[in-house]
Amino acid sequence: MYNMLPVCFHLLLYLLVEISLYEALLQSPKMLFSASYATYLTGEMVSLECYVSADFTIHGYKFFKNNQEVQRTEAPSVNKYKIRMVKTSDAGSYTCLYWISDSRGRQESEVSFPVFFSVIDQPSTPSLIVKPLQSLYFEGETVTLECKHPNINSQITYQFYKDASKLHRYHDTSMPEYHISNLSTKDSATYDCEYVVLGHQRIIPSGKSMQQTITVTALSSSPLLKFLPSYSTFINGENLTMECEAPSPVHVTLYRFYKEGEELKGPLSHKGIYTLQNVTKNNQAEYTCMYWSPKINREIPSAQSPAKEIYVIDPLRAPLLLVDPPSGRIWTGGNFTLYCTAPEVYDRTIFHFLSNTNEMISVPTNKNQKTAEVTVNMKKFNSTSSIKFYCQYTAEIKGRSLLSPKGPQIEINVVERGSLLWLIAIGVGAGIAVLLVIIGLIYWVLSGKKDSKTDKEEPKPVNDGGCKVTSL
Ligand SMILES: *[C@@H]1O[C@H](CO)[C@@H](O)[C@H](O)[C@H]1NC(C)=O
Ligand SMILES: *[C@@H]1O[C@H](CO)[C@@H](O)[C@H](O)[C@H]1NC(C)=O
Ligand SMILES: *[C@@H]1O[C@H](CO)[C@@H](O)[C@H](O)[C@H]1NC(C)=O
Ligand SMILES: *[C@@H]1O[C@H](CO)[C@@H](O)[C@H](O)[C@H]1NC(C)=O
Ligand SMILES: *[C@@H]1O[C@H](CO)[C@@H](O)[C@H](O)[C@H]1NC(C)=O
């Protein structure tokens, strides 16, 4: 008996250790989802795992939904509860426990903490709406793609695809619209869209919409705007016809003319002819034209013609002509200089000096030069008396050469050296006559003063003589 005591003690100790070991090991398991999220789409598979970190043999598991047992597995390795095609009604609170069997019978662990999952419907496939819808688009047009679907109370982002590759969007991806402004032929492609539901610890894509094809056609090649007459500088009051010329093989249904981008309407403008009558400064502007040609149920516009500018000027004014010496009187064989001055500066001015003997000298000048001069030697001209000169100019204004009216005439008088002596003689004679008159006047004034003092009437005849001299 005495010897039995330590044996009993040891047995007791062993049992105590065993019991406390079981109690420690049969702590509650953990319920886990095989996936890392807790929101499932209808029809997906849900896998729940009853997880125990233990190195002893577990003999079975029990699974509960809302505290109702839904599965009992005997096989020790099967610790999973699977719902193959999940339905909305499967959503709820799930728990599990495990058990072990030993000499003392079946020992059940505590129940795990519950886990929950929700089931949502697969997001409906969107439709891609193209606004405006055309069988054919042309360059420069704007098109909007809208990814349309029934309203969903979740955060959504949209993705658009062009020929199955993602389109980058720099603006807000929560907007269901994608704009393509200024279409180019490179935008011709097949487009579709998709939206993604966010906020469930997972990404739920809607699946792609039906495809929409966008075909962009290049604009017809630009026409040529022509002026008749072909220059671009016009004088106030002149007429001008514009012609829009399409590249030859194109069938054109409409032409249009534009002045600084604003359409011009004329009786024949739709036929490609626009006439400006009696042009004024108001017509000075940049002009372009376009044409339309039919293509697959649409009228395709052409690119704009290169712009052409119209300059409207007042008629040229006559130049000013000056001569050196200013008297216009020169000796035989002498030189004189003519100065012709245009009233304005032009791109290029050619001055023409003309004489009544049809002699002509043209002087081209550089840019910004208003005046030209020529020195002429009188020997050139056979005339011995007088020659009339005048000048005019040709101004080049934006490619058009215009001839000005003639300026006032200047007369050059040739004075022969021989006749100069006579001139001197006449000059001297005239000088002496003037001198005599002055002396006579002084005498008359002085004698008049004397008369008023003495009241004598005698000197009167002398006075008359004085008057006679004056009248001479
Ligand atoms: C449209 O695109 C064309 C060619 O890509 C370009 O030359 C033109 O400047 C663009 N127009 C606008 C308004 O962006
Ligand atoms: C411009 O055209 C009108 C009408 O055809 C005509 O009467 C006028 O003489 C023309 N003016 C000039 C400067 O040619
Ligand atoms: C041309 O325009 C001017 C100024 O506007 C006007 O005085 C003149 O009568 C016009 N001539 C014709 C033919 O229309
Ligand atoms: C006239 O001009 C020429 C050169 O242009 C010159 O040789 C000549 O001496 C000038 N004659 C007079 C009188 O000034
Ligand atoms: C001036 O007279 C000469 C001789 O008579 C002649 O050869 C020359 O052509 C004449 N010049 C002019 C500008 O008339």
pLDDT value, residue 460: 42
Distance 260 CA to ligand 2 centre (A): 25
Which of 296, 123, 124, 129 minimizes the C-alpha distance to 211? 129
Query: Would the CB of 239 count as within 6 Å of ligand 3?
Result: no
Q: Running DSSP on this structure, what letter comes out for residue 3?
A: T
Q: Is 337 in the pocket of ligand 4 (CB under 6 A)?
A: no
User: Mean pLDDT, the chain, as a whole number?
Assistant: 84
The ligand 5 atom at the shortest distance from the C-alpha of residue 380 is: 13
Where along the chain do its domains lie? 2-120, 127-217, 224-313, 320-418
The CATH class of 127-217 is mainly beta
Least confident of 82-86, 174-178, 310-314, 325-329: 325-329
Provide the 3-class DSSP secondary structure of residue 417. helix
Give the mean pLDDT of 306-318.
94
Please give the pLDDT value at position 3: 54
Cα 277 to ligand 2 centre (Å): 7
How many angstroms separate the alpha carbon of residue 331 from the centre of ligand 4?
12
Give the separation between CA 397 and CA 311, rounded to whole angstroms. Answer: 9
Residue 71 confidence class, pLDDT cut points 50, 70, 90: confident
Q: Are 337 and 256 in contact (CB under 8 A)?
A: no
Model confidence at 422, in pLDDT bands (50, 70, 90)? low
Class of domain 224-313: mainly beta
| Ligand 1 centre distance from Cα of residue 181 (Å) | 9
Ligand 1 atom closest to 184 (CA): 5
Cβ of 377 closer than 6 Å to ligand 4, yes or no, is yes
Q: Say whether 320-418 and 127-217 share the same fold.
A: yes
Q: DSSP labels for 258-325?
A: EETTEEE--TTGGGTEEEE-S--GGG-SEEEEEEEEEETTEEEEBPPPPPEE-EEEPPPPP-EEEEES
Within 8 A by CB and 6+ apart from 454, the residues are: none
* Residue 278 CB–ligand 3 contact under 6 Å: yes
Closest Cα to atom 8, ligand 4: which residue? Answer: 335
- The per-residue pLDDT for 188 is 94
Kindly report the protein residue whose alpha carbon is nearest to atom 13 of ligand 2: 238
| Any atom of ligand 1 within 6 Å of the Cβ of 182 | yes
Specify the pLDDT at position 294. 87
**d(CA 356, ligand 5 centre) in Å:** 14
* Structural fold of domain 320-418: Immunoglobulin-like (2.60.40)
> Ligand 1 pocket test: which of 137, 143, 182, 185 has the largest number of ligand atoms within 8 Å of its C-beta?
182
Buried b (16+ CB within 10 A) or exposed e, 333-348: ebebebbbbbeeebee
Contact present, 174 and 255 (Cβ < 8 Å): no
Q: Who's near 54: CB < 8 A, 6+ residues apart? A: 25
CATH superfamily for domain 2-120: Immunoglobulins (2.60.40.10)
Pick the more confident residue, 118 or 78: 118
Binning pLDDT at 50, 70 and 90, where does residue 214 land? Answer: very high
Does ligand 1 come within 6 angstroms of the Cβ of 371?
no
pTM of structure: 0.57
Place of tokens 């409409």: 254
Cα(378) to centroid(ligand 4), Å:
10
Ligand 4 lined by 334 (C-beta under 6 Å): yes
